[in-house]
Amino acid sequence: MPNNIEGAMSRRGFLGIGGTALVVASSGAGVLGLAGCDGSGSGPSGDPGSAARMWSMWSEGEPNEAILAEAVKDFKKEVGIDIGVDWKGRQPVDALLPSLNTSNVPTDLLNGGNTEIVNKLAATENAVDLSDVYDRQVPGEDVTVAEAVGNGNRIANSIGFTEEGIPVAVPYQLSTFLFFYNGRRFPDLQDNPPRDWDEFFMMLDEQVAKGRQPIALDGSKPPYHAWYSQHLVSSIVGYSGWVDAHLDRSGQLWREPEYVEAARIIERLASGGYFIDGYDASQFPAMQQKWSNNESDFIFNGTWLPKEVKPYGDPEAEYRSFPFPAVPGYEPPPVFIATQGVSVLSKAEDVELAKEFVSWMLKTKYQEMTATEAGEIPVRVDVAVPPTAEGAVEQLSGGKLIQSAPPNQAYWNDVFEVVHADLVFGRLTAEEYIDKLATQSNEFWKNHE
C-alpha cells in the first residue's frame, strides 16, 4: 500500500480497532468482486427535471436497488431535493466513459464498484475529491462519515482512495468470499468451523463416505474456480506472492514449491470426488441451484449468494458461512473484498448538492437495510452483519483487507483462468498445471512487452 494512502488514513483517524490493516490493489478491474451478480440494467426513475441525476450499478427489482431507491425517496422528502436515478446494471462506469470528454455528461453521481471508480474515473480526473465529505456529519446522526466508516473493524475507507490518498468514493457496502452451508444441516459448524484444510478435508471425507459430493462449484464462471488458488496461494506466500507470480515475466516463479503445494490441494479436490457432478460442464447457476436445494453441502462464493439463491433454494434453509481455511502450517489467507459506493462526477452541475447525498447513504437506516434486505455487509461498524455473513466477522476484525482484483486483467483472462480450468476440471495434475502455466506465462509476457 502506498505510504501516502496510509498517511491519509492516519490523519483522519481511520485505522481500525484491533489494528486492522488495509491493503489496496489498485491495478485491474474488479472482476473477482460481484462476479455472480448479473444485473442487466433498466430504465430511469425520478422526475426528468430532477435537481441531480445518478447512474447506479443496480437493476430494478434487486434488494440493493430497493435500498438506494428508499434513500433517494427519503432524501427528497426530508431534504427537498430530487435525485433522478438511472438503473444501469453492473457496468455503469463503462457505460459512462464515452461521454466524459464531452460537454454532455449525463449524470452527477455514480453508484458503482469503488475499484472502477478509482481506476477509470479518478484516473482521468473525472471524480471529485470527497475529503470534506468524510469530515461531515452523517445527516441527523451524531457521527461523522469518517467515524461511521473508518473507526472500527469493518473499515473499507481506503477502497475508494487514489494512490495519492485522495478519497473519490465513499463506500456503503462490502462484499467478501466465504464457504456457505445450510446451518440446519450442520448446526455445530457455526462455533467450530474448520481452521485449515486438514480439518476441512476430514469434514469433506465424512460427507463423501455418506455418498455425498460435498462441494458445489459453477465452473462455467472462471472467477469462481480461480478464487480457490487466489486464497490457497495467498495463505502460503501472502498476497504479495500471488501478485508477484502473476507479474513474473519469466513465468518461472510459478515453479517454486509453494505454488505447487497450493495446486496439489486443488488436484486433490478434483480427483477425490469432492466436487458435485456437472461442475465442469454445466451452465451457471446450475450448481448453486443444486447446493441451495441440499444436493451438495458447501459452496465458496460471495456474500451476495444467499439472496441470489433465495428464489429457488430450500425455503427452510438457514444459510451460514465460514472463512476459507488456511493451508496447514500457514496463516489464513487475507480477506478479499469488493466495495460499492457513491462518487461525484467532476462535471456535476451542483457538486455540493451531490456531496450531500453521498453522506446521506451512510445513515443507520440504509446500513441496516443493507444487512437485513440485501444480505450484504454494511461498512458502519455499529450495524450488525447479516447472519449469513457472520463467518466473516472475525477475519474482518483482525485480518488484512484486500480489494479483490486481478493483478493484470489481460493476463488473468488470457492465461491464468484458462490454464487453471484444466487443473480444477482434473485435466492436469498439479505438476502438469504448473509447467503449462509457467510456459504460457512466459509466452504471454514476451508478447506484451
Question: Which tops the pLDDT comparison, 150 or 165?
Answer: 165
Question: Which tops the pLDDT comparison, 163 or 153?
Answer: 163
3-state class (DSSP) for residue 44: strand
pLDDT at 13: 29
pLDDT at 50: 74
Q: What are the structural domains, with CATH classification, of the chain?
A: 29-175+337-400 (3.40.190.10), 177-334+407-446 (3.40.190.10)
Quote the CA–CA distance of 233 and 230 in Å, as a whole number: 6
Handedness of CA 93, 96, 101, 106 (dihedral sign): negative
Residue 332 sits at the vertex; the CA angle it makes with 326 and 337, to the nearest 5 degrees, is 120
pLDDT at 54: 97
pLDDT at 151: 44
pLDDT at 33: 41
Confidence of residue 47 (pLDDT cuts 50, 70, 90): low
pLDDT at residue 152 is higher than 70: no
pLDDT at 37: 54
pLDDT at residue 153 is higher than 70: no
Locate 128 and state its grid cell: 471529485
pLDDT at residue 35 is higher than 80: no
Mean pLDDT of 72-93: 95
In the DSSP assignment, the letter for residue 70 is: H
pTM for the full predicted model: 0.86
Q: At CB < 8 A and 24+ separation, what contacts does 235-241 make?
A: 235/262, 235/324, 235/326, 235/327, 235/330, 235/331, 235/332, 235/333, 236/261, 236/262, 236/327, 236/330, 238/331, 238/334, 239/23, 239/25, 239/334, 239/400, 239/402
pLDDT tens profile 355-392? 999 999 999 999 999 999 999 999 988 899 999 999 99
Percent of the chain with pLDDT over 90: 75
Question: Which tops the pLDDT comparison, 149 or 350?
Answer: 350
pLDDT tens profile 221-277? 999 999 999 999 999 999 999 999 999 999 999 999 999 999 999 999 999 999 999
Mean pLDDT of 22-47: 43
